[in-house]
């Protein structure tokens, strides 16, 4: 079996990480005290041209993530399980590797149906995000590296923010 990277972990959290970095930078440059830098800063060399590609890919990935969240919400809304119920069952299953014993047969079926739907939506979003990153001229691993660097390097986050606001 061929190894396939877990794009979901890499890409579905990207926008949240970048948003946090950008917000943190914006707050620190607006007079608020600057937060201390993480001890293991991922300093990498990113030229402006590559950072522009990254900013473009990030914008596109964000749109895909918004679509994923919308599709996820529609799937939950169309299910007899509430979002709260689904998430509670999911957390239990993830930690125990079993469905809660108290679920009825119908609830188990609805949960499994919803999981199948959500996994399909997730896989589609993963493919779209990977394709988008590649279309913008970056590999998924390089994109991930820049995400981590932007998250931990305020100077790089600042450069990215300037590029994002100038577009």
Q: What's the whole-number mean pLDDT along residues 100-127?
A: 91
Cβ count near 159 (within 10 Å): 17
- pLDDT surpasses 50 at 130: yes
Note if the pTM is more than 0.75.
no
Is 3 within a domain? no
Confirm if 109 and 103 have CB atoms less than 8 A apart.
no
For residue 142, the model assigns a pLDDT of 94
Is 2 within the bounds of a domain?
Answer: no
Band (pLDDT 50/70/90 cuts) for residue 133 is very high
pLDDT at 57: 94
| Backbone φ and ψ of 164, nearest 5° | -65, -35
* Residue 16: pLDDT over 60: no
User: Which of 1-5, 21-25, 83-87 has the highest mean predicted lDDT (pLDDT)?
Assistant: 83-87
Is residue 141 over pLDDT 80?
A: yes
Q: Based on the structure, what is the number of domains in the chain?
A: 1
CA angle 91, 149, 21 (to 5 degrees): 65
pLDDT digits (tens, 9 = 90+) for 29-83: 444 444 444 445 557 899 999 999 999 999 999 999 899 889 988 998 888 998 8
Q: Which residues contact 20 (CB under 8 A, 6 or more apart)?
A: 151
68-108 tens-digit pLDDT: 889 988 998 888 998 889 889 988 988 999 999 999 999 99
Do the Cβ atoms of 160 and 22 come closer than 8 Å? yes
What residue numbers bound the domain in which 101 lies?
9-30+41-166
């Amino acid at each position: 079996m061929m190894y396939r990277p877990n794009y979901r972990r890499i890409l579905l959290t990207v926008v949240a990480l970048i948003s946090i970095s950008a917000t943190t930078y914006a707050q620190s440059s607006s007079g608020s005290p600057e937060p201390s830098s993480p001890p293991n800063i991922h300093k990498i060399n990113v030229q402006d041209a590559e950072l522009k590609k990254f900013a473009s890919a990030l914008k596109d990935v964000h749109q895909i993530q918004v679509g994923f969240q919308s599709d996820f919400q529609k799937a939950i809304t169309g299910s007899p399980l509430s979002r709260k119920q689904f998430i509670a069952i999911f957390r239990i299953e993830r930690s125990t590797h079993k469905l809660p014993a108290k679920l009825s047969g119908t609830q188990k079926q609805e949960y499994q149906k919803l999981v199948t739907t959500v996994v399909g939506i997730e896989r589609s979003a993963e493919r779209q995000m990977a394709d988008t990153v590649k279309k913008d001229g970056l590999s998924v691993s390089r994109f991930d590296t820049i995400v981590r660097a932007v998250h931990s390097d305020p100077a790089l986050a600042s450069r990215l923010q300037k590029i994002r606001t100038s577009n």
